[in-house]
Amino acid sequence: MCGRFTLAVELSTIIRIFQAQYNDVSFAYSRRYNIAPSQNILVITQTEGIRQISTMSWGLIPPWSKDASIANKLINARAETIDQKPSFKLSFLHSKCLIPADGFYEWKKKAGKKIPVRITLPNQEVFAFAGIWAKWQSPQGQNIYSCSIITSESNDQMRNIHNRMPVILFGESSYHAWLKSDKNAVLKDLMQPYSSPMVVYPVSSQVNSPKNDFPTLIEEKTIY
């Protein structure tokens, strides 16, 4: 699964790497070191060839949902069944997005303890998780935009930490294909476990609380 991640690069870097823009004058960006479900996160969508940066709530609320509480159960969508599950199928067909990140957290079991670790891509400023999004209208008539991160089986490097991992997209060709393709075979090809080397290192247990969100969380800790 993917239940916590980071995005601590400059907004200008995100704009450059993803060739995206934002138009909302109220849009505000800040570096994040411990992003958690139910929070607003940065997403990139594409309409008529233009990539747009905006924020959405992490935890998908399908358009047919009776209330927003379902979002707590839909922070992740499994790549293997995303095109079959009613909660995800329509978004997968029509509403895909990129979710920028520069690392994510997972918890490794060691000597009866759960040790938080951070996983990044070597020498890469930022990459993207494959995501889907939806627009839901509340009973009060408010439009709420939400999203989910797609997960796959873990690769060899992650397998001893967790059996699931986020689907990682890297490079313009994969960003373009994910946002534009409507061919199931192409999309399934993109939703494979990340196959290149990653960097994995232990971090402070302070990351366990989503209330903590500060730069030292991403520093390596070797006191265990």
Instruction: Kindly list the catalytic residues.
Output: 2, 106
Listed in sequence order, the residues at least 6 apart from 14 whose beta carbon sits closer than 8 Å to its beta carbon are: 7, 20, 42, 53, 100, 126
Residue with structure tokens 């009973």? 139
| The dihedral sign for the CA sequence 87, 92, 93, 94 | positive
How far apart are alpha carbons 224 and 221 in whole angstroms?
Answer: 8
CA distances from 180 to 20, 43, 89 (A): 14, 15, 16
Report residue 139 as tokens. Answer: 């009973």
Residue with structure tokens 């796959």? 152
